[in-house]
């Protein structure tokens, strides 16, 4: 799983602070066409079908990126035409496999769980699961928090989560941190569903991009949670790394006053991953342990565009592990060309799908429907946890 650690990311992308609709963004159409063009040219240059498949997989982009001018006339071809060219090269996609699910929907996933096949469920979540909790949106014009941040004349809304900007201008982050500090928001049905999986002995781990700690607020033990982008559980000096208890930082946050280190006078901030910072070591360690053992992957409320978090879905065993996406929009979906070229990692809901289930809608609605498919006892237990 070495590629899990290839890049760092920011809490601004898929944290509890993220604008709700950012969990449901799709890759621009042009970007997808250009990605397909790269795959096609990798295939053409390989010289044989086997070599072409390897080259295409290695050349596929790992994260969302804005590519510049078109690199080939293949951009003008539609997906079916490019797929036909790949087929001519012998690239017809992965081999057919026996379906792991009876159907690729909530009913199929419920049947799989009810049959006792899911004993090590891994859950991956993003900001979409906290929308119903009322986590404020700091990047959309017209919202109170966004308007308040503008008085600091930010070069862009996300600058508040950039470490270099924070060093020079810590005040905007401290204002934002006051709005996001734990204890102000209540967990949603989705947070309690994750706890329900734990209570039933089915949850191996929950990997979250959110910084709101609502999973723990819902009663999930901390050892079951991996906060990929950090949270407010601890704080440290950004220079000498001296640690500080959350309560020491809280008073500064409440007063919107930057805290300075008692040792070196450096700035102190909660241990939230900013742009330019590495993800916690625990994320990589547990990802390497948990993903190979995962027998059902449930992904909820995330666009899966931030790496290395997004890369985890590609490490669920292709032969044994079904995957379910609950989200308002599809995410991390392979194009026809990428699928034909054997590119791995993304979801695939087209022909020869053998393991990927999909529910499009709000996360809370999705988990309630899944519980309904699992039986009245699941519904009752979820309601009891929320009471």
pLDDT tens per residue, range 299-329 = 999 999 888 999 999 999 999 999 999 999 9
Q: What is the pTM of this model?
A: 0.80
Catalytic residue (choose from 24, 198, 229, 339): 229
Residue with tokens 């503008």: 150
* DSSP sequence for 224-289: GEEETTEEEEEEEETTT--EEEHHHHHHHHHTT--EE-TTT--EEEEEEPPBTSPPPHHHHHHHHH
CB of 351 closer than 8 Å to CB of 97: no
Q: In this model, does residue 94 exceed pLDDT 50? A: yes
229 assigned to active site: yes
Q: In this model, does residue 23 exceed pLDDT 90? A: no
List helix spans (H) across the chain.
Answer: 11-14, 29-46, 49-59, 79-88, 106-114, 144-150, 163-168, 171-180, 189-199, 214-217, 246-254, 281-293, 336-340, 363-374, 376-386
Structural domain spans, the chain: 1-135+185-229+273-387
Report strand pairing: 267-272 vs 230-237.
antiparallel
Q: Compute the distance between CA of residue 341 and CA of residue 318 in angstroms, rounded to an integer.
A: 16
Length of the chain: 387
Q: What is the mean pLDDT of residues 15-23?
A: 35
Phi, psi for residue 44 in degrees, rounded to 5 = -60, -40
Rounded to 10 deg, the angle between the 189-199 and 376-386 helix axes is 120
Was domain 1-135+185-229+273-387 assigned CATH 3.40.50.1220? yes
């Amino acid at each position: 799983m070495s590629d899990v650690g290839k890049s760092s990311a920011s809490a601004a992308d898929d944290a509890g602070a993220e604008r709700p609709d950012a969990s449901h963004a799709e890759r621009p159409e042009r970007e997808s066409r250009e990605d397909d063009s790269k795959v096609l040219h990798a295939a053409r240059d390989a010289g044989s079908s086997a070599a072409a498949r390897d080259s295409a997989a290695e050349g596929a982009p790992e994260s969302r990126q804005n590519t510049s001018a078109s690199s080939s006339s293949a951009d003008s071809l539609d997906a079916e035409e490019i797929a036909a060219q790949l087929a001519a090269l012998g690239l017809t996609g992965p081999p057919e496999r026996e379906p792991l699910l009876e159907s690729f929907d909530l009913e199929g996933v419920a049947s799989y769980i009810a049959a006792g096949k899911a004993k090590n469920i891994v859950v991956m979540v993003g900001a979409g699961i906290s929308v119903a909790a009322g986590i404020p949106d700091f990047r959309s014009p017209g919202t109170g928090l966004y308007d308040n941040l503008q008085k600091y004349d930010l070069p862009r809304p996300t600058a508040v989560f950039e470490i270099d900007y924070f060093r020079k201008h810590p005040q905007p982050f401290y204002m934002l941190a006051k709005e996001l500090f734990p204890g102000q928001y209540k967990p949603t049905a989705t947070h309690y569903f994750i706890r329900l999986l734990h209570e039933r002995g089915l949850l191996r781990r929950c990997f979250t991009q959110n910084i709101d700690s609502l999973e723990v607020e819902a009663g999930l033990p901390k050892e079951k949670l991996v906060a990929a982008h950090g949270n407010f559980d601890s704080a440290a000096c950004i220079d000498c790394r001296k640690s500080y208890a959350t309560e020491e930082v809280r008073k500064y946050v409440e007063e919107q006053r930057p805290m300075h280190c008692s040792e070196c006078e450096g700035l102190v901030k909660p241990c939230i991953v900013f742009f330019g910072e590495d993800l916690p070591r625990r994320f990589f360690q547990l990802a390497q342990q948990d993903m190979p053992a995962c027998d059902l992957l449930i992904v909820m409320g995330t666009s899966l565009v931030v790496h290395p978090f997004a890369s985890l879905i590609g490490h669920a065993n292709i032969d044994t592990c079904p995957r379910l996406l609950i989200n308002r929009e599809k995410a991390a979906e392979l194009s026809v060309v990428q699928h034909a070229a054997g590119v791995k990692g993304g979801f695939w809901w087209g022909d020869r799908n053998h393991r990927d289930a999909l529910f499009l809608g709000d996360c809370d609605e999705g988990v309630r429907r899944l519980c309904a498919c699992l039986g009245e006892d699941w519904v009752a237990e979820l309601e009891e946890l929320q009471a």
